[in-house]
């Protein structure tokens, strides 16, 4: 089953839990946009509060504890037997983090609305304003459903497999670093900006296109693949795109913000 779903497929789905995960680094708050208009029945999922633990040495968006994530998802109406659809404004940058985290904690049926709210509205489908509440869910969080990397494993993979850096190319090269205290990339990592996974409307490219793109970067069947970014958000988007292409990949959740927390770790530029 594809991890993506179209607006028509969502409209036909029987009783899904729909999560609005609109988020943008530096704001504005996604909840404000949700209140202005969202897919009817959707509830707002806060990326910072519901899909990550507080920032610290483990990174800016470390994995939440299983108990905290379970509580958040139950509050949002998520149950293990109920399909979940997640969306954001368009390109799935934030929605992919919800998809990945739910899959990591064991939910069997999570899909991302391809093209997000923009695609839904473009088809003339209805939107609702204000807040909505969900009936409580019974989701049980069981860690380990998706492969993860720690810092040491990420460095090893950059040498022995393929480690994709999902950030903008200028951040990878170390020319700029607007967020983290040190610029550069993990030695051996390959630059693969996530914006190249989607078309101008924010929809994912076809699986064949994505497969060719990742094959060109060295991600081919039989080779271990991982992804990282600044804090594990856009790297989840990379893992989603790899999944669409039929290529499994591990996520370095702490990503660059965790990597540079230890000054003894090597840094490459250029």
Round to whole Å and give the CA distance between 257 and 230. 6
- Which of these, 94, 121, 99, lies nearest to 39 by C-alpha position? 121
Side by side, which strands form the sheet with 17-20?
4-5, 110-113, 84-87, 17-20, 43-44
DSSP characters for 211-258? HHHHHHTT--TTS-EEEE-SSSSHHHHHHHHHHHTT---EE-SSHHHH
How many CA atoms within 13 Å lie on the side-chain side of 13?
20
| Residue tagged active-site, from 33, 141, 229, 245 | 229
Angstrom distance (rounded) from CA 93 to CA 36 = 20
Q: Is 229 one of the annotated active-site residues of the chain?
A: yes
Q: What is the DSSP letter of 265?
A: S
**What's the CA gap between 241 and 28, in Å, rounded?**
26
3-class SS at 32? helix
| Residue positions annotated with a catalytic role | 229
């Amino acid at each position: 089953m594809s991890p993506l779903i179209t607006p028509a497929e969502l409209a036909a789905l029987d009783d899904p839990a729909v999560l609005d995960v609109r988020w943008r680094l530096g704001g504005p708050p996604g909840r404000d946009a949700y209140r202005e208009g969202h897919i009817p029945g959707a509830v707002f999922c806060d990326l910072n509060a519901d899909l990550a633990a507080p920032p610290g040495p483990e990174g800016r968006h470390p994995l939440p504890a299983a108990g905290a994530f379970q509580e958040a998802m139950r509050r949002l109406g998520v149950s293990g037997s109920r399909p979940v659809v997640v969306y954001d404004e368009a390109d799935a940058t934030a929605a992919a983090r919800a998809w990945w985290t739910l899959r990591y904690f064991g939910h069997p049926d999570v899909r991302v609305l391809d093209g997000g709210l923009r695609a839904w509205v473009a088809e003339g489908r209805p939107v609702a304003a204000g807040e909505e509440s969900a009936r409580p869910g019974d989701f049980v969080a069981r860690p380990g459903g998706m492969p993860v990397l720690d810092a040491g494993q990420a460095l090893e993979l950059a040498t022995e497999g393929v480690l994709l850096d999902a950030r903008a190319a200028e951040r990878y090269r170390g020319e700029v670093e607007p967020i983290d205290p040190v610029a550069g990339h993990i030695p051996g990592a390959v630059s693969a900006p996530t914006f190249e996974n989607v078309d101008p409307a924010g929809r994912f490219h076809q699986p064949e296109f994505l497969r060719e793109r990742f094959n060109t970067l060295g991600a081919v069947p039989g080779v271990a693949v991982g992804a990282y970014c600044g804090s594990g958000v856009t790297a989840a988007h990379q893992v989603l795109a790899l999944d669409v292409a039929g290529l499994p990949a591990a996520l370095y959740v702490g990503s660059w913000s965790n990597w540079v927390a230890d000054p003894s770790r090597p840094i490459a530029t250029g």
